[in-house]
Amino acid sequence: MSEVDYTLYLVTDAPEHYSNGLLTGVEQAIEGGATLVQYRASTGSRRQLYDTALTLRDLLRGMGVPLIINDYLDLALAVEADGVHLGQNDLPVTVARRLLGPDKLLGLSITAPEQLQACDPEQIDYLGIGPVFATSSKDDAAPAMGLEALRTLAPQCSLPTVAIGGISQQNAEEVFAAGVDGIAVVSALSHAADPAEAARRLRACAKNRAGRTGSIRRSQG
């Protein structure tokens, strides 16, 4: 894998939110244009998370789409995922990079300018910025920053950026126009009656993108 497309970043929701099941919902969203998948799960045993992540990995490899694991570095290593995404309260990125090795993707969430100043572009591949709008898909989400703050923060980032938090078809164009490389969505795809069509419409909103299309930092193995 030599190029990473951050345009439409699918973050998985609870399985019960997908009308045809998690795997089918993810597959349909990819068929509609989702370019990257993050497996995020807050419930279930570690064995259940492992089994689901492994199944997702096999599905996505067949479709040529990277799998990122949220928070759980051990799970990412266990299933040989393409990378891991960390929050501000997770493992330090230097430790995560050492354990991941140089060829895996490492994403980091930021919510404020001071967190950006602490980022080391030699350790991190991309930044998740948000929540842009209020969101109900993450219980411990920070307060919404709003579009104006996103417009201020995104251009300061030297790394590829993905906006997250309350993004839908109704506001995705404005989010792309703020200067990000991609949008991360949860319920906009998991709650959709037709995830493929929902993904197509969200992907179409990228036409006003002012960011770096198809940004690359590290070759993937």
* Distance, CA of 36 to CA of 74 (rounded, Å): 20
Q: Which of 117, 180, 110 is nearest to 151 (CA)?
A: 180
Handedness of CA 87, 73, 5, 159 (dihedral sign): positive
CA dihedral 56, 109, 9, 101 (to 10 degrees): -50
* Distance, CA of 203 to CA of 6 (rounded, Å): 11
* Distance, CA of 8 to CA of 200 (rounded, Å): 10
Annotated active-site positions, please?
A: 40, 109, 138
Cis previous bond, 131, omega within 30: yes
Strand partners, 182: 162
- Is 178 within 8 Å of 154 (Cβ atoms)? yes
